[in-house]
Amino acid sequence: MNLRMKYSPRAGGRLVSWKGPGDPTPGRFSYGIDAKTLLQVYLWLWDGLRPVARIGPWTGYVVKSERRYQMANVSADIIIYMAVVDNDYEIVYITYSLSDGAPRTRCVLTYSGEFQLQSWSSMSTAWTVLETWPSSDCARYGHCGPYGYCDETTTPVPTCRCLDGFDPTSMKEWTSGRFSTGCRRKEALRGCGHGFLALPGMKSLDGFMLIGRNTSTMEECSAECGRNCSCVAYANANLGNGRSRGDIARCLVWTGELVDTVKIGADPDADTLYLRIAGLDTADGQRMKSNVARIVLPILGSSVVVLICISFAWLRFKDEEMKPKIADFGMARIFGHDQQNANTQRVVGTNGYMDPEYAMEGIFSTKTDVYSFDVLLPPF
């Protein structure tokens, strides 16, 4: 049997739970495809009108996947094939099929709100649960709260984290394992003058708005979100429906709170989310900050060392009469304590690292080592 929907405001087919263990009348939960929009197609679990769990948006292509299960007293693994089928009659449906020789298998939506794959065991003469969804609290809709995300790359247990640029709204609740209050910005947005931070490996969030075909490239999508001061994030995903055949890259933008955010890492369904962060002047702002930390800070630290060595050379660099010396790139020369400069008889040092005054005329001073140090600095 196919689980079917039509591209119309009318709801399509759904799998509906029982009201209770002995009451087959319609219950609180249903499983199916969201038919609210043409382009945003989801698989949901509903608790009345409240979403319980969500699978990312459908790309518009014929999607096929398979899952393999091992079952005791069965000669071969059970393989369940799932396909999302789109045809010319503007109908989308989900279909399931089994590998040859597999025992009877069924999809069940329990009265407690769990979607289960069950297979019949002839040995125990009972249904065995192969898989349950949602599989954990982190897989439930919006479990990590606004601007929080479930990190599925942390194994074996997914955990809630705040998006970059955000802190827990209530640290007390967060540390106790309650994440519904989510996260808040470390620095509030004021106007449009902020850049975007790239967050790769994210599942498309809920509640996006779709921008049309004129913003099909990443640059156009970035410009569209940048012009809208209410836009907090954007992504460029390959969504589609039966009409577009899923072959048009589309710009997704978010203007409200970011909810049901999941990091899935290196996955074919993952997108790069660009999040507006206060203090980033350009899209390259984060990379510039990274360069400061990686290059500039070590240079400053080394510069302080050189400054100390030159300014307080009497602490370490002295001749046999306890008079201070100054070094030209490792070549120590006598430098009188009452002298500001001097002229040597023979130039000593490494060509290319010596300052011109010393290399050509033998004149050296406290600036000589500074020049040599500058030659070693990496270019920006």
Both 95 and 30 in a single domain?
yes
Domain count, the chain: 3
Predicted confidence at residue 254, as pLDDT, reads 92
> Between 67 and 235, whose confidence is greater?
235
Both 252 and 266 in a single domain?
yes
Predicted confidence at residue 233, as pLDDT, reads 94
The residue behind tokens 């439930």 is: 140
User: Does residue 195 carry a pLDDT above 70?
Assistant: yes
Mean pLDDT, residues 58-65 taken together: 59
Tokens representing 362? 């033998």
Closest CA to 77 of 95, 100, 106: 100
What does the buried/exposed string (b/e) look like for 218-254 if buried means 16 or more CB atoms within 10 Å of the residue's CB? eebbbebbbebeebbbbbbbebbbbeeebeebbbbbb
Residue 119 domain boundaries: 3-135
Q: Which amino acid is at 170?
A: S
Q: 288 in a domain, yes or no?
A: no
Confidence band of 246 (pLDDT split at 50, 70, 90)? very low
Q: 83 in a domain, yes or no?
A: yes
User: Does residue 244 carry a pLDDT above 60?
Assistant: no
Tens of pLDDT, residues 90-103: 556 778 888 888 88
Predicted confidence at residue 98, as pLDDT, reads 87
Both 46 and 127 in a single domain?
yes
Both 210 and 324 in a single domain?
no
Tell me whether residue 95 is exposed, middle or buried, using C-beta atoms within 10 angstroms of its C-beta: 0 to 12, 13 to 18, 19 or more: middle
- Asked whether the beta carbons of 242 and 155 are under 8 A apart, the reply is no
Tens of pLDDT, residues 69-81: 776 655 567 888 8
Average pLDDT, the chain: 75
Confidence band of 320 (pLDDT split at 50, 70, 90)? low
Q: 289 in a domain, yes or no?
A: no
Both 221 and 101 in a single domain?
no
CB atoms within 10 A of CB 166: 21
> Between 160 and 268, whose confidence is greater?
160
Range in 137-146, 151-160, 266-275, 277-286 with the lowest mean pLDDT: 277-286
User: Does residue 371 carry a pLDDT above 50?
Assistant: yes
Predicted confidence at residue 54, as pLDDT, reads 85
